[in-house]
Amino acid sequence: MADKRPRKSSDGFVRERYKELLPLFRLPQDPNRVSPMENESSHLIAHLLSSMALSKAQSEELLKKAQSRINDFLGSDVDSLSNISKLYEEWDSKRKEIEQSLSLASDEVPSKVGKITRMIEGTCSEISNHCHEISLVLTDISKETCRTDDLYLLLKENFDKISQLTNAHAYLSIIEFVEHLSNRMEGYVANRETNTGRAIDEYKKLGELCVKINKTSCGHLRTYLIDTLKYWHTILKKDIVDDFATCMKNVQWPLVTSNNFLASPSADALSKFQHGLKRLMNIAIPFGSLSFAINDWKEFLAVSKQNFKKKLYMKSTNDVSREDFDIMRTLGSGSFGRVVLARRKNDNQYFAIKVLDKSKVLKTKQVEHTLNEKQILQAIRCPFTVYLEHFFQDNLYLFFVLPLILGGEMFSHLRKIGKFQENATKFYAAQVVLAFEYLHYLDLVYRDLKPENLLIDHIGYLKVTDFGFCKVLKKRTYTVCGTPEYLAPEIILRKGYGQSVDWWTLGVLIYEMAAGYPPFSAKDTMKLYERIVACKYHFPTNFSSDVKEIIKAILQVDISKRLGNLKGGAEDLKHHKYFKSIQWLPLCNKKLVSPFIPHVASPSDVSNFQRCSEEPLQVSSPLRKRFLFHFSGNSKTNRIDKPEWYFTQVLTWIRDHENFILNWVQPVYDDMGVGKSALAEFMAGLVELSLEKLQVDIEQAQYDDITFSHVVDEALAYERELRHTYLYPQALPGPVHILSQAQLFVKWLSMEKKYAREKMDIMIKSETAWTTLAGDADEDKVTEVAHSFLALLSTMSDRYSLLPQPGHRLQFLELVLEIIDDLRVSVLQVLHSEHNDPLHSKLPQVLNTVHHIRIALEQYDASPAILLLNHYRTQFNVLSAEESDSKSRANPLDEPAEGIFQSSLELLGRLESQLLTELCDNLMMEVKAKSRPYRKDKWYGMNEDDVDHSIVTLSGCGMYQALADQLHLVHGKITEKLFSTFWKMVANNICLFFLDEIVLDNYFNTHGGQVLEKDVNKFLIPLFQHYCEVPGTYFAKLQEVCRILALPTLSHSVKRAALCGSGKELLAALDIPLIHVTGDKLCTVITRRVDVVPSLM
């Protein structure tokens, strides 16, 4: 039986009404506070909503009652109403602070709004769970039920007052009630042949919803239910309705108190609040796109094919024209025209209009493709494709009116974050599978899949767009079309192909989403085609086994083995274990939560699209003609290897016309209230010309390394000049947006690496590489290598700082880290090639170089720009950790923050320590070589004449002289900071050397101990006075040992304790204070005195 409910096709009326309903989603100031008027306001809203599902006569009757109740109620307590209005204004201002703090992605909500956040945690959890369902139900209601202008006017007239009284919990409960009611009604109509008992049992469940409504509201909701049943009386069988009404009279309607009703469930406070708020802001907005209720995908495909055949060659009605729309701004531009944001005047609905220049279409012989695109767009209706709303034309242009998809291009989001996580890749790939299954069922082949042709809607789902290459195909075709990296082998080999090419592009897309770059790339097109035909590609290490398997199954050169092109078609893909977690029917109905939901604030918020230049000012028209004359065609100035010619020309025109635009054009803009910058529009028009020229030239220049590098250098200089000198708006695209395109960016990175390594090799092999720069000989001792290398890093930093996306800047930083590691390896190779004495080799200069670079990197690592990039990297790691299957894995935010250059700094620091140790070891070898006479001296046979405090012991002259000479020599070769570390290492080693190889290797009488104490205090320690005010602190242990050996006599108790090895007893028996020499060590030292063990002498 057909559905006889009256319908109204005015979608614009519905959308406008929902704009007015949107403020009801604001949250109350305090969830624990119940206004005496909230219950009554819930009744009013319930009555207003109830009229939506009734016949026109019933609606009009209820409208009169509702208007009367509104007038009576709103006039009853004006003071209370005013107070509530103030509370709502206060909450709204604080709510915006919370939203702003969340948008900044701070680690924690600022303290001044933390208290408010905690108050609304429970409410936000409920919003997050129900918003998507609410939006679907409201869409269904808008299409299936009666609407009257009286109801709209009533809502509009009283809405500001009602919204101030409405409690968010009560409102959501009413909407939830309407949702369940609608679902049950639709289900009952669909299963009208089922037995009466089952239908009644199903409807009994509606009573359970009243648990969520407070006591006063229950009566009104029950009335609402009975009134709705009266409407259904005209559609359903009378006996069933009577039985149902009788049954419902016996239902016990449970009641709850307002306190229980407002109780907040426990949840993850901040994360649920943020996610719920985003979904609330995005999903609850009335976006003007089709919704689909698909119960059976196969049945949907069959019906779609019938409708497709009817509409494919249908002639356009031209029911709209250019005058029906307000053009607001440009969303994108291409070779044949541009896509603009437009607002329909009669209902304020927003669309994307694709405007094609007829002359360009004719000139490029794209008439057939354009006609195919128009016919296909008007005939398809799929949840994952765009479609044609209207089509019209004038003498110059063709206009395709399309739904506005507000999430932006997948390409932009992919380039922004670098690559997608596996769950996101799988989610998007599944939608492409369904889109291709739909198109192939209609005998269509798409042929142009790539991230640029996939849009993301406001709830995070995909829309396939740009059907310029799509065509009806019932047999093979031979046309070569598509993006080079995505071409299937059969297209390249011109064998003739069918729908199998689409599945190949799906495999390439999955790879690019997961890796961040396509599987096939090469310097020139022929090598690229060779790799595609040979199917040569490599998997990154982060790919899971499931990802590898499905890519291997799809990227098969033999189409008889290609997954998707087998007998099972798309079903083979759906049943692959890679898609095991995908619920296909909920996905068709967009019931699954997307892993990424773009921020969309309103139905006209196009902030997710890159800012494009608008139509240029008329004053720039002559300049545009001159540009095309000089820099296109066979003109001598049209050279790929000379981009600076047209860059300079554009900058010259901007400079020459700046004053004219500011003094004559801008005042006219201001008088007309245009609200735009005339100079920005003038610049945008000229810059757009140069970017179109750059896009064409660089695609050819990329196959020659020298030309490509020159074009990149000039483009970056042009970008810097535009942004810094002429203040070209950051929101508008510049040359780096072209350089950031996937293939060009990979090429750019490879060239940067190549030239950086070449420059590094040249600087290291230079004859003056390790010489100290003039002016730095005394302190820093900066070598030519260190200076040149840091200049290279600075140049690279300046280049990547112009990139707008942090993901691209991070990729450049990865290259910088590689270059730093290459330098470290090159330095080690230089050292290993040296066989000289370290002090007379390049080791000191290498040490200075490593130290200088490490200090510079430490400062760079702490700069604001690098800290910001590190924060972005940390956030990306957090998302990766959340998607990890390991529940025991620690949260990256709980771990200590690590700088981007931390690993490089650790390696350089380790190398620096190794080189210092090598220098120190070399010095000790020289000292030890000269110390033999001193070590072998007869310390046990010294007499009083040997204790001369004015001269050093004769046997130690060579050793002390060698130590002084080596310290002086090293001091002159390395920096002050390095030498400060070095001499302390030497002091420690000298102290150990004296203890181990002089004291413990000899026996001392009293005079021998006094001689050693004199040498240490008068000659050894003073050698270090040039580097430290109190050098004795570094020889404290040695001084204590010498003092023990120099004691004139020892008591019997001391000797006995030393011979018995009792350290504690020995410390107690000695009269001198000791700090650094422990008891066990003390016993060993005392036993080196001849008066303690004379028989061992």
Binding residues: 354
Q: Any idea what DSSP says for residue 210? A: G
d(CA 239, CA 243): 6
Tokens of 807: 């993901």
Give the neighbor-by-neighbor strand order of the sheet with 337-344. Answer: 325-333, 337-344, 350-357, 397-403, 390-393
Closest CA to 217 of 249, 174, 164, 176: 174
Q: Any idea what DSSP says for residue 23? A: G
**Angle, vertex CA 89, rays to CA 85 and CA 92, nearest 5:** 135
* 631 touches 650 (CB < 8 A): no
* 50 touches 228 (CB < 8 A): yes
Give the Å distances, CA to CA, from 502 to 428, 497, 532, 710: 15, 10, 15, 37
Could you give the 3-state DSSP secondary structure of residue 463? strand
Task: Give the sign of the dihedral formed by CA 42, CA 44, CA 46, CA 52.
Answer: negative
* 703 touches 523 (CB < 8 A): yes
In 255-349, the DSSP E strands lie at 325-333, 337-344
Residue 296 designated active-site: no
* 508 touches 521 (CB < 8 A): no
Catalytic residue among 448, 605, 697, 937: 448
Give the Å distances, CA to CA, from 837 to 319, 482, 624, 841, 961: 92, 65, 69, 6, 19
* 657 touches 619 (CB < 8 A): yes
Binding residues for ATP: 354
Closest CA to 23 of 82, 95, 128, 72: 95
* 631 touches 637 (CB < 8 A): yes
Q: Any idea what DSSP says for residue 557? A: S
Those residues whose C-beta lies under 8 Å from the C-beta of residue 800, and which sit 6 or more positions away, are: 808, 809, 812, 813
d(CA 785, CA 772): 9
d(CA 163, CA 21): 8
892-906 per-residue burial string, b: 16 or more CB within 10 A, e: under 16: beeeeeebbbeebbe
d(CA 781, CA 772): 6
* 269 touches 238 (CB < 8 A): no
Give the Å distances, CA to CA, from 34 to 84, 158, 933, 1069: 11, 22, 97, 84
> What is the phi/psi pair of residue 354, to 5°?
-90, 115
Q: Identify the bridge partners of residue 463 per DSSP, sorted by sequence position.
A: 455
C-alpha of 994 from chain center: 60
701-717 per-residue burial string, b: 16 or more CB within 10 A, e: under 16: bbeeeebbbbbbebbbb
Q: Any idea what DSSP says for residue 27? A: P
Closest CA to 848 of 983, 975, 985: 975
Written in H, E and C, the secondary structure of 1032-1070 is HHHHHHHHHHHHHHCCCCCCHHHHHHHHHCCHHHHHHHC
Please give the single-letter amino acid code of residue 671.
D
Please give the single-letter amino acid code of residue 487.
L
d(CA 27, CA 339): 37
**Residues with catalytic roles:** 448
